[in-house]
């Protein structure tokens, strides 16, 4: 995927994420994306970039690597909570 296509896909993902915070009449249209085995990496990369951009705009002035560290901490916290719930239910 070339740089312009990735930028367009990232923008589309960003708008889709931001639309979740808006009322339906305020939402901006986004293009439909057909997921295939060939474009999954590009799709997830664009979503990572879009989430990082949103985080940077809302919360902090961090770079993409710093943002992935935050995502890793959140994943670990979630996993600990799920493991704790499973142990409680045994």
- 10-residue stretch averages of pLDDT, the chain, 90 residues long: 93 95 92 93 96 90 90 96 85
Together in a domain, 70 and 84:
yes
Please report, in angstroms and rounded to a whole number, the separation of the first and last CA atoms in the chain.
48
For residue 87, what pLDDT is reported? 80
Q: What is the pLDDT of residue 8?
A: 95
Helix axes 64-88, 40-58, angle to 10 degrees: 100
Domain containing residue 78: 63-90
Same domain, 5 and 36: yes
Let me know how long the chain is: 90
Are both 17 and 44 inside the same structural domain? yes
3-state SS, residue 27: coil
Split into its structural domains, the chain has a count of: 2
Instruction: Please state the separation of Cα 17 from the chain's center in Å.
Output: 8
Return the pLDDT at 52.
Answer: 95
Structure confidence at residue 89 (pLDDT)? 81
Task: Write down the pLDDT at residue 85.
Answer: 84
């Amino acid at each position: 995927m070339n740089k312009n296509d990735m930028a367009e896909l990232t923008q589309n993902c960003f708008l889709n994420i931001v639309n979740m915070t808006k009322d339906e009449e305020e939402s901006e249209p986004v293009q439909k994306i057909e997921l295939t085995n060939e474009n999954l990496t590009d799709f997830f990369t664009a979503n990572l970039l879009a989430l990082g951009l949103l985080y940077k705009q809302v919360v902090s002035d961090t770079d993409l690597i710093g943002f992935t560290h935050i995502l890793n901490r959140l994943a670990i916290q979630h996993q600990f909570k799920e493991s704790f719930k499973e142990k409680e239910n045994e």
